[in-house]
Structure 1
Amino acid sequence: MARASKTTLKKTTSKPPVRRSFRRWLFRVILRGGFAAVLLMVFLVVLGAVFNPPTTAYMFSEGRRLGGVQQIWVPMERIAPVMARAAVAAEDANFCQHWGFDMVAIREAIEAGSNRGASTISQQTVKNVYLWHGRTWVRKALEALITPVVEAIWPKRRIVEVYLNIAEFDEGVFGVEAAARHYFGVSAADLSATQAARLAAILPSPKKRSASRPGDFVVRRARQIRDGAATIRNDGRAACFES
């Protein structure tokens, strides 16, 4: 009987603690959940490389607030090349030379004590297509994770195309085609260099600035952008989205 008792006791104490089993189960759940989230992210990015996003979180919220928005999707072939160059010159002159993050601009922004100019066109596209507006650390972390995936899967030309079609140019006006009609009464394909530069000049604050009735700042900024657009064309920094 004594031997049986010892054997029974030994078998009982050899079982793993319940707490340890729960931790292992929780770890497996988190691991599988993270893996599923990564797969979903990659799937959505691949989808975005082929299909145009029907809307964005910000566009949807503005549509509900205003009762609708103006947006007409156009492919890059129907956007004046000078418009793409103007947008890149204004927002991300080194767009063709980085993998989603402009480290030089980030360092300069940190030294200046500002985050202005540190966000690339790739990051802005990720934010607009897949995330939401705001300065939370969660959104910033997700943006940092998704941006390299977009850069790896989407051609640079596709990034610029999507960016120009979902950027806000005025209250309720999204995309360069709607903006060209709204401000100048022309299509995106017929924008002049000055018109394109003015549209690019209002991108940081589209609700406070006007491309058709520009103030002194927009006029000066547009002149700089027009020169910058010509510069990146001549020095090859526009080649990645014009080929």
Structure 2
Amino acid sequence: MASLKEVTARIRAACSKGIQARVALEQVEDLTREAHDMVARALAGARCLEPDMAQVLAAFQRVVDGCKGHLWPLLNAAVKDAENIADRLSADNSAPRQPQPPSVRQPDSGNPPAVPVEQVERLRRELPPPVMPGTGQKTRGYLLGADGTAQPVVSGRDDDAAEADRRLRDMGMPRKSARTGDVEIKLAARMVRDGIRHATVLINNEPCAGPFGCDTLVPILLPEGATITVHGTTEQGEPIRKRYAGGARPWWR
């Protein structure tokens, strides 16, 4: 019979496999979303094909929704429960935690550089508690580099927020957004100004929705081909992930 230490190590290895599966699921979601947007742009204005286009776009969207709305929560819960079991066994046996294997790095194919999952999860544990709506708490986190660097970021008014205001005004947005101090929008404005194509950020909050929020304005601010990957946290402390792709048409035009 395997020792308690061996059982714990096997569970840790299973958790690592679960995290690798999450990386693969992220890629499925990203590629499907890109396929959706490419079809939508290619067939924009083709009225004779509207029924067919709607069917194709709906199919792509179901895949995206299935990843983030069903498979992601299931996988996160499974990994979390397995880690809790391993932690209890480690406490009982005083066994050191086994290091997770490095994430598999794919050859460069023009996609955003991968930030190691281990780095994301390690820094996530260092974040303040999740931001609760209506409390006025600032969003805090890290701008992550594929080389292991982590630059602290915080929401609020600064030069990047002013840059976002200026760019959106120049694009003809009908009124000023109150969310340009958000980490994601400020990062998008900085990327445009500095010629950065891809960025990954970890925050203790969720990206905001609505016509003047991050979900809408970040893809509008970013040029086509640029991306921001956001590793966020829900009010309940659950990890979420979202990737914004640039080139979206402003809704006010």
TM-score (norm 2): 0.23
Higher radius of gyration, 1 or 2? 1
Higher relative contact order (CA 8 A, sep 6+): 1
More strand, by proportion:
2
TM-score (norm 1): 0.24
More helix, by proportion:
1
